[in-house]
Amino acid sequence: MEKIYDVVIIGGGPAGLSAALYATRAKLTTIMIEKEKTGGQITSTTEVANYPGSIENATGDSLSNRMVEQCKEFGAELQKDEVQEVKLEGEIKEVVGKQQTYKARSIIVATGASPRYLDVPGEKEFTGKGVSYCATCDADFFTGLEIFVIGGGDSAVEEALLLTKFARKVTIVHRRDEFKAAKSIQERAFKNPKIDIIWDTVIEEIKGEGLVQSIKMKNLKTDEVTEYKANEDEGTFGIFVFVGYLPETQLFNGILDMDGAHYIKTDENMNTNIPGVFAAGDCRVKTLRQVVTAVSDGAIAAIQAEKYIENTFDDQ
Report the catalytic residues.
Answer: 134, 137-138
> What is the C-alpha to C-alpha distance for residues 268 and 280, in angstroms, rounded to an integer?
10
- Supply angle C-alpha 230, 236, 240, rounded to 5: 100
Residues 6+ apart with CB under 8 A from 226: 216, 217, 219
Q: How far apart are CA 182 and CA 286, in angstroms?
A: 19
Burial class of residue 314 (count of CB atoms within 10 Å of its CB; 0-12, 13-18, 19+) = exposed
The residues that bridge with 284 in the sheet, in sequence order, are 264
Query: In angstroms, rounded to a whole number, what is the distance separating the alpha carbons of residues 232 and 206?
Result: 17
SS3 category, 206:
strand
Q: Fill in the DSSP letter of residue 264.
A: B
DSSP-assigned states of every residue in 41-77: GGGG-S---SSTT--SS--HHHHHHHHHHHHHHTT-E
